[in-house]
Structure 1
């Protein structure tokens, strides 16, 4: 089984309970993250790793939304949410490192709480840049290595289990990869002992 197939299997199994399990974390740890994304997403929006579609209610009615997701089980849930919202969303199965879209196809690319699990985050960010128009927006929210050493140490210990079982990293940081890929940082903030980072960047060139 390839690493991609293993990741798909992990998220297929997690999908049925995912929404119930993440509600508490959204309230106490990822507080306001989805609202933050919705306030900044504009125009033609692509959400990479759309998951079960938890961001869909927060996008402006004027935005045209597309989403890509590795797990078909999660994608089915996202489709149901879109239907319940009465919203037309182009949802496709695929992986973040090989986005099935042409260059300069989107005005905004979103990736929320997912680069921590994407196998090749550098390749995924390069793909996000490729599909953005010049000056397009990249909006990222993720958990990263805490700026408080005791918390970071606990995260490192937790990773010894989560990387092996679910491919989930807790000490990765995406900002250096974003800058190296050719983005200019417009906004960046770290909250919750520096363990959550929100990044709003624009594509240079």
Structure 2
């Protein structure tokens, strides 16, 4: 591939990173001058959540217009009781068929995104079925929230399979301790249940479909502060490996995945896994 064809690969993340830095700066100004709470700046986690919420509210819809690979087809077949990790403000909800869903739980730690999330749930026929949880996907955050919601029985440590499906759409890049988080999600999936995944991952540069330029771009943007300004998002996650490990020595009953735009700094890994029955 000629080097000029790599320019969009290198520049596109820079545009988003610039926007993220702008919203982080504006979140600081809002905290000091609008909320008049400068002491809140010492709560860096809250400040970063607020900053990322601003970024997502401004750009989330545009970033969700076209989703990679077979994701739309996968989500259109989702059914039963579903756990949606990191739904943001719910821009992905139109991809689901609400008639096939009996209940949906959205684990979203950025509470500033919840009003939009609930509006989108109502708009797309999920109003009475949707439960927004103020938590992340990591077990120490997710499990207590699921207990509080009532879907996990008292005394359950989180290994209770209660979901027909778990959706991870552009979220595993940002969860703390991804191996542990994905193992925890595996435990929450019913036997025979499905996990739908659409994640940007480390560039598969060692394979014929990957790209050294795309891999180097990931390193550069990481050094420029991508994880900090992008709500903990990591460009270099080995998510395919973590997903395989989560099922243990017996493995998943089936796995079906493809890389989308594997030469880019944002190569996506899209597909589904089925837990053994």
Calculate the TM-score normalised by the size of structure 1.
0.86
Q: 1:50-83 CA deviation, whole Å, 9 max, x = no partner?
A: 1111221111122132111111111222012112
TM-aligned CA deviation for residue 7 of structure 1: 4.6
- SS of the equivalent of 1:96 reads coil
- What's 2:111 paired with? 72
Larger mean CA deviation between 161-170 and 51-60 belongs to: 161-170
- What's 1:85 paired with? 124
Does the CA-based 8 Å contact 1:50-1:75 persist in structure 2? no
Q: Looking at CA atoms only, which structure, 1 or 2, has the larger radius of gyration?
A: 2
Structure (1/2) with the larger strand percentage: 1
Alpha carbon RMSD of aligned pairs, Å?
Answer: 2.2
- SS of the equivalent of 1:65 reads strand
Larger mean CA deviation between 136-145 and 14-23 belongs to: 14-23
Distance 2:174 2:185 in 1: 16
TM-aligned CA deviation for residue 186 of structure 1: 2.2
Does the CA-based 8 Å contact 2:88-2:108 persist in structure 1? yes
For residue 44 of structure 1, the aligned residue among 81, 84, 97 is: 81
TM-aligned CA deviation for residue 24 of structure 1: 4.3
1:131 counterpart = 2:191? no
Q: 1:5-31 CA deviation, whole Å, 9 max, x = no partner?
A: 745532322223414424444456x43
Does the CA-based 8 Å contact 1:11-1:74 persist in structure 2? no
Distance 2:179 2:171 in 1: 13
Gaps of 5+ in 2: 1-42, 147-151, 153-159, 204-209
Distance 2:62 2:246 in 1: 33
Distance 1:198 1:173 in 2: 14
Distance 2:105 2:172 in 1: 18
1:97 counterpart = 2:138? yes
- What's 1:176 paired with? 241
Calculate the TM-score normalised by the size of structure 2.
0.65
- What's 2:256 paired with? 187
TM-aligned CA deviation for residue 143 of structure 1: 0.8
Q: 1:15 to 1:93 in 2, by over 3 A?
A: same
